[in-house]
Structure 1
Amino acid sequence: MNTDLRGKIALVAGGTRGASRAIAVELGRGGATVYVTGRTTRAERSEMNRPETIEDTAELVSAAGGQGIAIRVDHLDTAQVAALARRVEEERGGLDILVDGLWGGDDYLEWGKPVWEHTLEPALRQIRLGIDAHLITSHHLLPLLIRLPGGLVVELTDGTAEYNARFRKGTSVPFYVAKAAAHHLALGQAEDLRPYGCTAVALTPGWLRSEGMLDHFGVTEDNWRDALAQQPHFAISESPAFVGRAVAALAADPEVARYTGQTLSSGQLAKVYGFTDMDGSRPDGWRYMVEVTDAGKPADTTGYR
């Protein structure tokens, strides 16, 4: 698999933790210069109040072989994002890869509540984080991407377009709308970028073993299988590196434009590009979700990883 990204300039918005952190690291492993933005630094935490920082991510990028640059940015503040764009322009002249992994809405989730019972301010905050921040980021940074053909925009989401074509029972309207919006962002941006020879896609991991998810189950990446006693279907979960490798493969693919406007998954792209998760497997999380979890079958990953 080609992941040579030397000379490429990338920006991972919301690269503090989870999938976005792993994407930044894998882009760095390919040799890219990666700007890592987010709200949590070693001096100040975001509302999520987690310990991971953008400086940590930037150091991981550099340790992997790239150049990591951490910049604190609140992507809901248009002035801060405009300043970010000016800095990248002054320092690099443009962008090759923009990954929009902005979220930070986990603490606002009220699962299973109808919209009239969901607390309104947390509901609106999810929309702001999942939609408004993405649009603000695109508005200010896409002008740097269109300067040369071959640019790539990746909108991170949760769920394939097929899976999100119907309401996801048990979640909530605010979460569903915030995440499903990525499909339409990719479609719209693909058309806007087409005349410039640039590509826009949405991308979803499967069941992600993020820092928060591991904490939820009281496990680590080393002993994550201990969580199967609580949730057997967690057996299909994937490390953040899996989706990171998916983005690195897309970014290095000279024919990536064939995917423009589509919503892709880490499991789908693993079959195309041949990469694996850290354990050598290729978890196909969303097919498993449909055919096993939603079908009410007992946990069994045979044929799915």
Structure 2
Amino acid sequence: MSQPLQGKIALVAGATRGAGRGIAVELGAAGATVYVTGRSTRARRSEYDRPETIEDTADLVTEAGGHGIAVPTDHLDPAQVRTLVERIDGEQGRLDILANDIWGGEKLFEWDTTVWEHNLDNGLRLLRLAVETHAITSHHALPLLLRRPGGLVVEMTDGTADYNRDNYRVNFFYDLAKASVLRMAFSLGHELGPRGATAVALTPGWLRSEMMLEHYGVREDNWRDALDKVPHFAISETPRYVGRAVAALAADPEVSRFNGHSLSSGALAQEYGFTDLDGSRPDAWRYLVEVQDAGKPADTTGYR
């Protein structure tokens, strides 16, 4: 099995579950050593109170062919992030890939609720978790990443720049959080590009995360049972799909052509030729515009 990232060192910030776990595992499958961080460990759960842990993610990275290293980290605490980066520096002396996937807002936002009706404390915490954590992590990790040319920063968000520019997303706080992360990648592109590194924003499509599957009362092996209630869920993808997108970017010697750009898992699958675990190539953001938002019946023909 080809391992184009053998010898590369990655940090996936926010790798407990969902896209972060998928990214970590696929970087491992490509041969990388992957530091995975989050607040949910086998000894202590975060306020999510879910069973997934960073230790489980690290084990999956190793099983996939890489080397997974779990480091409990609250990315709102600059001292903890500084200690994390110092550890990576001391153990590896380099950092080649940073995936900023910290989110933490699923239980904090309210659908279709105005800024004056939304719980203010929850909205402000959502912004801290979604935006401040990324800034803190970049501040401490980028000097190490820039030590060698060719580094890659992936800012994970929800929605492409084009889609989010033209569409209001959920509510004021959610919309602002996701737009902010898109802008982070643009700004980092200006700061990193002249210094030999690349920054991109990346969005999965409709993600079949652990929480989403649970929400619909299905598992990965029977996820299509949810289509009776939510037909457009047919375009959904596994977290490994966006993970393969990150691995492909990290292995591309010409990745700098994407510096500062907004990318999606579906579009990158067409670019690089990878597939989801079932062999398909779902293109959720094109489907969303052309089928779901257009009010057409669910039909993924030509979209996966």
TM-score when normalising by structure 1 = 0.98
Paired position in structure 2 for 1:98: 98
Q: Following TM superposition, by how much is the alpha carbon of 1:180 offset from its aligned partner in structure 2, in angstroms?
A: 1.1
160-169 vs 255-264, which moves further: 160-169
For 2:156 and 2:142, how far apart are their aligned partners in 1? 16
Structure 2: runs of 5 or more not aligned: none
Which AA in structure 1 matches 2:143? P
Paired position in structure 2 for 1:164: 164
TM-score when normalising by structure 2 = 0.98
Which AA in structure 1 matches 2:290? E
Paired position in structure 2 for 1:107: 107
Q: Does 1:150 align with 2:178?
A: no
Paired position in structure 2 for 1:281: 280
Q: Do the aligned partners of 1:108 and 1:126 also contact (CA within 8 Å) in 2? A: yes
Q: Following TM superposition, by how much is the alpha carbon of 1:3 offset from its aligned partner in structure 2, in angstroms?
A: 5.4
Structure 1: runs of 5 or more not aligned: none
User: CA deviation digits over 1:56-111, x for unaligned, max 9?
Assistant: 00000000000000000000001100111111111111200000000011001100
Q: Does 1:62 align with 2:55?
A: no
Q: Does 1:15 align with 2:15?
A: yes
Q: Following TM superposition, by how much is the alpha carbon of 1:195 offset from its aligned partner in structure 2, in angstroms?
A: 2.2
Paired position in structure 2 for 1:259: 258
Task: Please list, as runs of the form range in 1=range in 2, the aligned pairs for 1:137-216 lying within 5 A after superposition.
Answer: 137-168=137-168, 171-216=170-215
Q: Identity over the aligned pairs, expressed in percent?
A: 65
Q: Following TM superposition, by how much is the alpha carbon of 1:191 offset from its aligned partner in structure 2, in angstroms?
A: 1.0
For 1:260 and 1:95, how far apart are their aligned partners in 2? 18
3-state SS of paired residue (1:281): coil
Q: Structure 1 2/259 Cα, relative in aligned 2: closer, same or farther at 3 Å?
A: farther
For 1:2 and 1:100, how far apart are their aligned partners in 2? 25
User: CA deviation digits over 1:136-165, x for unaligned, max 9?
Assistant: 000000011001110000000000100000
For 1:280 and 1:168, how far apart are their aligned partners in 2? 32
3-state SS of paired residue (1:110): coil
Which AA in structure 2 matches 1:293? Q
Paired position in structure 2 for 1:129: 129
Paired position in structure 1 for 2:79: 79
Paired position in structure 1 for 2:232: 233
Q: Does 1:34 align with 2:45?
A: no
Q: Following TM superposition, by how much is the alpha carbon of 1:167 offset from its aligned partner in structure 2, in angstroms?
A: 3.9
Which AA in structure 2 matches 1:291? E
Q: Following TM superposition, by how much is the alpha carbon of 1:166 offset from its aligned partner in structure 2, in angstroms?
A: 2.7
For 2:157 and 2:282, how far apart are their aligned partners in 1? 17
3-state SS of paired residue (1:153): strand
For 2:46 and 2:127, how far apart are their aligned partners in 1? 17
Q: Following TM superposition, by how much is the alpha carbon of 1:48 offset from its aligned partner in structure 2, in angstroms?
A: 1.0
3-state SS of paired residue (2:299): coil
For 2:240 and 2:67, how far apart are their aligned partners in 1? 18
Paired position in structure 1 for 2:117: 117
Which AA in structure 2 matches 1:16? T
3-state SS of paired residue (2:143): helix
3-state SS of paired residue (2:62): helix
3-state SS of paired residue (1:108): coil
Ranges of 4+ aligned residues in structure 1 off by more than 3 Å: none
Aligned pairs, number: 304
Paired position in structure 2 for 1:4: 4
Q: Do the aligned partners of 1:241 and 1:277 also contact (CA within 8 Å) in 2? A: yes
Which AA in structure 2 matches 1:237? S
3-state SS of paired residue (1:21): helix
Paired position in structure 2 for 1:297: 296
Which AA in structure 2 matches 1:94? R
Question: Considering only aligned residues, what root-mean-square deviation do their CA atoms show, in Å?
Answer: 1.1
